[in-house]
Amino acid sequence: MSKIPAVVLALLLSQSIFSQPLSDTEKKVISYIKLHLPATEKLLEEVVNINSGTLHINGVKKVGDVFAREFAKAGFQTEWVSLPDSLKRAGHLVATRNGKKGKKLFIIGHLDTVFEPDMAFTPYTRLNDTTATGQGANDMKGGDVVVIAALQALQAAGLLHDTRIVVYFTGDEEKSGQPTSVSRKDFIERAKTCDLALAFEGANGLNSIATARRGSSGWQLHVSGKTGHSSGVFSKGSGYGAIYEAARILNSFREDLSTEKYLTFNPGLILGGSEMQYQESKARGEAMGKTNIISPETVVTGDLRFLTEAQKDAAREKMRRIVANNLNGSRAEIRFQDGIPAMEPTEGNNQLLEVVSGVTEAMGLGSTKAGDPGARGAGDISYVARYMKGSIDGLGASGRGAHAPGETINLKEFPLLIQRAALLIYRLTHTD
């Protein structure tokens, strides 16, 4: 009989561990979560009813205080990471258990929402037995509560003893303090001490998680041309002007790059005319133009989203080549700004997916698959995924309408997602 290679054998053993049926211990954890579900929903209602728009510093800190109270019940030490006043952000909540056993987990959430105090307030309200609404109920106070409820259930069962876990709830995920080299410095440094990252942004049901997320960056196109009477447009002496050159460039972007999978680029602002003033810091401007004057200047700003750094770099190079091929009488240049990096698909991420799938199969929910990376924007996990042995996202609450009035949370799936999270954390922290 031929021998199975050691690496393959280890993988098979690992898979057999993670796909095992529910143990009596795990069944007790599920029972605890079910029993304490009313208190869990009450916690969700409490934090949803606190406005914590990113720029509402006191509100973000107040939500952090509530969660710090709850982390203490799970045996975690908490601290508040302050940011410089110049960033105008509240800071971050960190909860830790400094044990020595199992894989060290980096669990990610955020305290802020997109709903600032000057927006109409939507309190936590049950719409029916399976749906509730409220600001941040889904994105992502629901996900934060999934984390806390799961950890409290594990603590009650005595399963967090000697575990190594860092929970990091940022206070400015929806609008990160700039520069991110400052606002995410502590976040990144702590992540580097961990093995695996689990992020609890919104779930896409019970059987899908994110093993990759696209990154985002920005670009600004500046075009200049010869001005003069419109009767000379297209001529050798006058050329095409700035607006035609900008149009050529944008259309060439669309023709040459728009069919590439996971790559998108969106022009969000275009400004041109015979006179123009653009305020970059405010992302706004003013322009005037006469139809008988060839436009001498045009500005376009946009974003660029990508699945890998290699894809981003290749796209930028193609865009530069297009920009350089100017029409007669015009000049153009493009500048790129780095934003949030991509959470690239890796084998380590796929192995984590198999662990999650083993949990949902054991729960009788069926297997779990990787979601479409193109369906998600960038998130905090993208800052740290490159440093981890494995990373996954989309483990939080489910619902609809995130970032919009009427955002909802699916209360039918909510307890099952808490159970999934608890068993995932348990299995990861109790295997080497």
CA distance 240 to 243: 8
Q: pLDDT tens digits for 107-138? A: 999 999 999 999 999 999 999 999 999 999 99
Q: What is the reported pLDDT for 20?
A: 83
Q: What is the dihedral of CA 60, 82, 166, 157, to 10 degrees?
A: -50
Q: What is the reported pLDDT for 18?
A: 54
User: Which among 109, 133, 132 has a CA at the least distance from the CA of 121?
Assistant: 133
User: Which among 159, 149, 206 has a CA at the least distance from the CA of 35?
Assistant: 149
Of 3.60.40.10, 3.30.70.360, 3.90.960.10, 1.20.120.1780, which CATH number belongs to 215-340? 3.30.70.360
Q: What is the reported pLDDT for 12?
A: 42
Q: pLDDT tens digits for 215-227? A: 999 999 999 999 9
Q: What is the reported pLDDT for 19?
A: 61
How confident is the chain (432 residues) per 10-residue block, as mean pLDDT? 42 52 97 98 98 97 98 98 98 97 95 95 96 97 98 98 97 94 97 98 95 96 97 96 98 97 96 93 90 97 96 98 97 96 96 98 97 87 97 97 94 98 97 78
Burial of 371-388, coded b for 16+ CB within 10 Å and e otherwise, reads: bebeebebbbbbbbbbbb
Copy the structure tokens of residue 419: 């159970």
Task: Please give the CATH architecture assigned to the domain spanning 6-213+343-429.
Answer: 3-Layer(aba) Sandwich (3.40)
Q: What is the reported pLDDT for 101?
A: 85
Q: pLDDT tens digits for 82-108? A: 999 999 999 999 999 999 988 999 999
- Assess contact for 387 and 192: CB atoms under 8 A: yes
Q: What is the reported pLDDT for 253?
A: 98
Q: What is the reported pLDDT for 420?
A: 98
Q: pLDDT tens digits for 251-301? A: 999 999 999 999 999 999 999 999 999 998 888 999 999 999 999 999 999
- CATH code 3.30.70.360 region(s) in the chain: 215-340
- CATH code 3.40.630.10 region(s) in the chain: 6-213+343-429
Q: What is the reported pLDDT for 377?
A: 74
